[in-house]
Amino acid sequence: MTVITEANKTKARELTAQLTLDEKIAIVHAAGLFRNGNAERLGIPPLRMDDGPMGVRAELHNDNWAPLYNTRDYVTYLPSGSAVASTWNPDLARMTGEVLGEEARGRGKDVILGPSINIKRSPLCGRNFEYMSEDPVLTAAQGVAYIQGVQESDVAACAKHYAVNSQETDRLDVDETVSERALREIYLPAFEAAVQDGGVLSVMGAYNLVNGTKCCEHKQLLDDILRDEYGFDGFVVSDWSAVRDTKASAEVGMDIELSVTPNFDDYYFANPLKKAVEDGDVKESDVDGKVERVIAVMDALHMLGDAHASRKPGRYATLDHAAKALDIARESIVLLKNEGSLLPLAAGSKVAVIGDFAKNPRYQGAGSSMVNSTQVDVLLDKLIDSELNVIGYQQGFDRHGKPDAALQKSACELATQADTVILCMGLDEIAESEGLDRSNLRLAQNQ
């Protein structure tokens, strides 16, 4: 597994000492939506980052959010964080990371923005599908294995979102008031394990405030706990647009600023940071520390000099990866009840299949974790190919609209002819999404 060594740190210090202030500034802020700047003179490349925790995100233009390759941009889609946790199997969590790391390297990435190890505190959170669990111990165990798997491929995992980031409503400005005990027992154990047991190379600073201070300005979280107490020696990257104050973030262990707009030179860690250093408002030594941490990770990933030739190449959208994703998904299934030993269904059973999701599976939530999947298994096709006697399929409802009486009637008529009905219900992608929380736990009206 890739780790930062004293040799990496020494090389980082030596290179940083040779950089101009402009080159240092370039390294600590974005030069694209998913990469920082570089110092070509000394052979220091940009770090190429990408979402997300369930697969490598579709490629975007460097300076806008339009897709670059469209339908050519396919990867393996991995089970969600909640599914990985539901396996209760660290070996499968590690396999998830291994597949993701190989795919990230195959797509030319240096950092994959996952795992998402925030604790589920409300069932309404729109991003719960990304997060592993409401249990800090389970999240820590599965998160560590996942990180170790990713970093086998010379890719940095990025544990996110640090910290106490458990809601999407007002996520940019919400102030989470948390006791020290709750912080230590609930919200931080997975991050502590990610650093001390997983050896994670990067951490993402969250949008929200904790006890009155922005996470990306938080001395207690970033310096006292993450670096001094946990011993983290990788770099911290901001969530996209989470840095709001040049001086406040420059004086703590926030290392790279990423954001969502193309005016990269105007970012807080760009021209404003350079001016703050030149005016004496921020010490250049604080910038040096950031640059050293970034370069040390680059060196650990074999990105510098001749070491690049030995870096693992990766691969993506392979049949082997699809098979592994299926193995993980199978073990993630949770059977809540089996009244009358209904399952497994006997061969030859007359089965009616009802619901649009049987033909058009909903397999991911919306937001930054969405990917173009190279292969999607369709339940109806699998049932038809099984030993069951599928006597028919009815849509039953309009997936994106209002209830349809005719569709409902047809579904009910089919159901009366079957021994068993397999009913495929759920929420469409936008109902569970980054950027919003659900208002209730009810199924949509059309369900």
Active-site annotation, residues: 239
Tokens 């579904």, residue located: 411
DSSP letter at 165 equals -
| Measured distance CA(283)–CA(49) in Å, rounded | 28
| Measured distance CA(246)–CA(272) in Å, rounded | 7
Q: Cα angle at 146 between 70 and 108, to 5 degrees?
A: 35
Structure-block tokens of residue 434: 């980054």
| Measured distance CA(192)–CA(231) in Å, rounded | 9
Strand order in the sheet with 209-210: 175-176, 209-210, 213-214
DSSP letter at 103 equals H
| Measured distance CA(154)–CA(137) in Å, rounded | 27
Residues 6 or more apart whose Cβ sits within 8 Å of residue 173: 207, 208, 209
- Interhelix angle for 189-196 vs 136-150, to 10°? 30
What Å distances lie between residue 252 and 217, 224, 249, 286, CA to CA? 6, 10, 6, 8
DSSP letter at 48 equals B
CA-only gyration radius of the chain, Å: 24
| Measured distance CA(283)–CA(265) in Å, rounded | 20
